[in-house]
Structure 1
Amino acid sequence: MAAAMSYETGGAGGGGGGGGGTLSDIYKNATKLLLRARDGIERLERLESSTSSGGMDSPELSFAVKKEISQIQTLCAEMDRLWRSIQSKPQRDLWRRKVEQVSEEAGSLKESLDRYLTRNQRRMKEAQERAELLGRANGDSAHVLRIFDEEAQAMQSVHNSKRMLEESLSTGAAILSKYSEQRERLKRAQRKALDVLNTVGLSNSILRIIERRNRVDRWIKYVGMIVTVIVLFFLVKWSS
């Protein structure tokens, strides 16, 4: 245990490398760099959020963050070599977990930075393409505006036709519903009339007249429904 403690705080076999000489010093430097890199990533993301409303990008900051992450990974490699030389197993396991945590955080920051750089490159490419498109269309702006206006008019016409068609279908459905209600009322009236006629004992000739009238009314109803369907068909054909 004494050998492990002396190694951690000052022994390290002279292998501290670029982190201060001892495992503790290298770890402290790595954690400081982690904090700075994490802060840099957050600043880049804030700049990215403001870029959509006119903010500015910071290539210098992204380069500095990338350099810090690279330094952290170098220190992790050095710490990984050093903790394996510790004699005490508990201390060795403790430092292994610490080094793995720093390495994982560095990897996560690198992924965040890579995603930011990818998004930034895509935005730059899109901005360049927009500039080229506007440059090519500089002399044809009136033509482009006319095309947009025609497209807007066409869309409005389609919208109006769709609304008229929906209103026509709704009206047709209401008419058919009324016809159905009238049919039910006629049936009930017919049953009541037959009951009354049977009660008063009217002749069969009067009953036949009533039945013929009922058939005529039914044909009138069917003709009305057919006319409604034809009108709806022509409205749909006209709107398309």
Structure 2
Amino acid sequence: MEGGGTTLSEIYQSAKKLLMRTRDGLERVERGELSSSDSVQNDISQIQSLCIQMDRFWRSISVKSHRDLWKRKVEQIAEEAESLKESLDKYNLRNQKRMTEAKERAELLRRVNGDSSHVLRIFDEDAQAMQSVRTSVRELENANAVGEAILSTIHGQRERLKSAQRKALDVLNTVGISNSVLRLIERRNRVDQWIKYAGMLLTIIFVFAFIFWRR
């Protein structure tokens, strides 16, 4: 059969070759060997165009048996081309879905990284605050130890003063000192005690003031 200088058999053979190339191209696209499916889409469109040409040719065949034979051949080519088109459409849909998911993951990671920086900054500030608290606690513990040492020293001195006072009183009683003189000595001792307590309080206040001033 002739049609514009091209026979039905020649068009059929061209369509078969295109089918083989399209299958191979589709497999390469699905394996990731081809970055674009445009060439496969073009081959499918060309096969479908050839099927339209062959459809006109086989309808013009006069012998029914030949006409039926070419009808089945052309329909088979058209069905295979349609199957390849469906496979390519499914691949493109999956690829588009993967690209969308990858874009969403990238956006999510960008947001997470931004939030992480904020969280890490807050954590760093909290860690610095905790370190400052620990330093203050250590300084207070040192101040308390110093205060306890001072109180212990003063207590020892107080006991020694009491002992000395008792000895002095014994001596005075022995030599017959009057009661008025004894009361005067007792008042003086009480004043000395108040002076000692005031000195202790001022010492502790000075130590705490010095610690907080250093901070």
Normalised to the residue count of structure 1, the TM-score between the two structures is: 0.47
Tell me which amino acid in the other structure corresponds to 1:103.
A
Identify unmatched segments of 5+ residues in structure 2.
121-215
- 2:170 maps to none
Match of 1:38 in 2: 23
Q: State how 1:118-157 maps to structure 2 within 5 Å.
A: 118-141=93-116, 143=119
**Distance in 2 of aligned mates of 1:123 and 1:43:** 18
Deviations 1:64-86 (A, max 9, x none): 00000000000001100110001
Q: How does 1:25-174 map to 2 (within 5 A)?
A: 25-47=10-32, 58-59=35-36, 62-141=37-116, 143=119
Deviation at 1:136, TM superposition (A): 1.5
Q: Distance in 1 between matches of 2:56 and 2:12?
A: 13
Aligned partners of 1:57, 1:108: CA distance in 2, in Å? 20
Helix, strand or coil for the counterpart of 1:70? Answer: helix
When Rg is computed on C-alpha atoms for both structures, the one with the higher figure is 2
CA distance in 2 between partners of 1:122 and 1:38 (Å): 23
SS at match of 1:137: helix
Distance 1:57 1:129, change over 3 A: farther
One-letter identity of the residue aligned with 1:45: E
Runs of 4+ in 1 over 3 A off after TM superposition: none
**1: CA distance, partners of 2:77 / 2:93:** 24
Find the aligned partners of 2:98 and 2:39 in 1 and give their Cα distance.
21
Whether the 8 Å contact between 2:25 and 2:40 is mirrored in structure 1 is yes
Tell me what 1:22 maps to: 7
5+ residue gaps, structure 1: 1-6, 48-55, 145-240
Cα RMSD after superposing both structures: 1.8
The alpha-carbon deviation at position 137 of structure 1 amounts to 1.7
TM-score, normalised with respect to structure 2? 0.52
Other structure's SS at 2:61 match: coil
1:214-225 map, 5 Å = none
- CA drift at 1:141: 2.4
